[in-house]
Amino acid sequence: MKLFQATAALAFALASFSATAAEYPAPKEGQWIARDFKFHTGEVMPEVRIHYTTVGEPTGQPVLLLHGTTGSAASMLTPAFAGELFGSGQMLDAAKYYIIIPDSIGHGKSSKPSDGLKAKFPRYNYDDMVDAQYRLIKEGLGIGHLRLIIGNSMGGMHTWIWGVKYPDYMDALAPMASQPSAMSSRNWMMRRLLIETIRSDPDYDNGNYTTQPRSTKLANVFFAIGTNGGTLAYQKLAPTREAADKLVALLFGRS
């Protein structure tokens, strides 16, 4: 938990928050169960829990907002994002739009391996995550058409997939920090390295771990450094070795 708190603190520091971020209606949380959910592998789970957060009223124009890797709906409700979009007169004014932010499979409060199945949880990919979002919107919330789908990073990749799989389901797509191409190169390599680091840890025990593998902490720190902030943002935050050491200490929960 300390690791995630520290990573969140770093993400907070990396963001450039506006002092005039607007107020918007209080978010509401909910969850829906997708029954007999079939994964791309052919595996079927009797129940997949999909947690979601909404901002605004169901009478508004529906907008689907999709978070990035390791994020959740909560990670999108920041002054730098929600505070700049959901307020009165802003681009996604919650008085006009009904904003739906699901926790993707494996994230937040939605079904994920750490609920108990661990490595026996079905192997899921972006198509599965998008299918779960689709079922939530169509079956769970009874929405037949979306005004907009907007996503960041992994959520941006989900947005592209929505456009391919369900091209008539929305008026517009706004994928951010993503490309309509197969994941490859450094992006793919870093994720593979994260996986291999954990798999090689004796504590992982071929997925039968009883305690969190210790390498997870190191792997997550490396991944966070490699994917968050960008070179210029880190240079601003840590222009000296001393400042950089403080950031590393923060990630490991040290003072």
What does the alpha-carbon distance between residue 179 and residue 252 come to, in Å, rounded to a whole number?
Answer: 32
What does the alpha-carbon distance between residue 245 and residue 172 come to, in Å, rounded to a whole number?
Answer: 44
| Tokens, residue 20 | 């005039």
Identify whether residues 48 and 172 lie together within a single domain: yes
Domain assignment of residue 97, given as a range: 16-181
Radius of gyration of the chain (CA): 19
| Tokens, residue 60 | 């508004």
Residues 54 and 30: beta-carbon distance below 8 Å: yes
pLDDT at residue 250, as a whole number: 84
Residue 153: inside a domain, yes or no? yes
Identify whether residues 200 and 232 lie together within a single domain: yes
Last-in-domain residue among 181, 201, 233: 181
pLDDT at residue 20, as a whole number: 55
Residue 220: inside a domain, yes or no? yes
Query: Total structural domains in the chain?
Result: 2
What does the alpha-carbon distance between residue 39 and residue 60 come to, in Å, rounded to a whole number?
Answer: 32
Amino acid at position 223, single letter: F
Identify whether residues 228 and 251 lie together within a single domain: yes
Question: Which of the 8 DSSP states describes residue 136?
Answer: I
Identify whether residues 206 and 91 lie together within a single domain: no
Residues 130 and 165: beta-carbon distance below 8 Å: yes
Identify whether residues 114 and 225 lie together within a single domain: no
Identify whether residues 237 and 132 lie together within a single domain: no
Could you count the other beta carbons within 10 Å of the beta carbon of residue 108? 21
Residue-by-residue DSSP string for 230-243: HHHHHHHH-SSHHH
**pTM for the structure as a whole:** 0.85
Identify whether residues 26 and 42 lie together within a single domain: yes
Identify whether residues 123 and 46 lie together within a single domain: yes
Residue 202: inside a domain, yes or no? yes
pLDDT tens by residue, the chain, 255 residues: 444 444 444 444 444 444 457 899 999 999 999 999 999 999 999 999 999 999 999 999 999 999 999 899 999 999 999 999 999 999 999 999 999 999 999 999 999 999 999 999 999 999 999 999 999 999 999 999 999 999 999 999 999 999 999 999 999 999 999 999 988 998 899 889 999 999 999 999 999 998 889 998 888 888 878 877 778 888 998 999 999 999 888 877 786
What does the alpha-carbon distance between residue 232 and residue 165 come to, in Å, rounded to a whole number?
Answer: 36
Identify whether residues 200 and 240 lie together within a single domain: yes
Residues 63 and 143: beta-carbon distance below 8 Å: no
What does the alpha-carbon distance between residue 103 and residue 109 come to, in Å, rounded to a whole number?
Answer: 7
**Residue 14: half-sphere exposure toward Cβ, Cα within 13 Å:** 18
Residue 3: inside a domain, yes or no? no
What does the alpha-carbon distance between residue 133 and residue 50 come to, in Å, rounded to a whole number?
Answer: 8
pLDDT at residue 13, as a whole number: 44
Last-in-domain residue among 181, 203, 236: 181
Residues 165 and 127: beta-carbon distance below 8 Å: yes
Q: Spell out where the chain has E strands.
A: 28-38, 44-55, 61-66, 97-102, 146-152, 170-176
Identify whether residues 234 and 186 lie together within a single domain: yes
Residue 53: inside a domain, yes or no? yes
| Tokens, residue 226 | 């490699």
Last-in-domain residue among 126, 159, 181: 181
Identify whether residues 25 and 148 lie together within a single domain: yes
Residue 8: inside a domain, yes or no? no
What does the alpha-carbon distance between residue 220 and residue 193 come to, in Å, rounded to a whole number?
Answer: 11
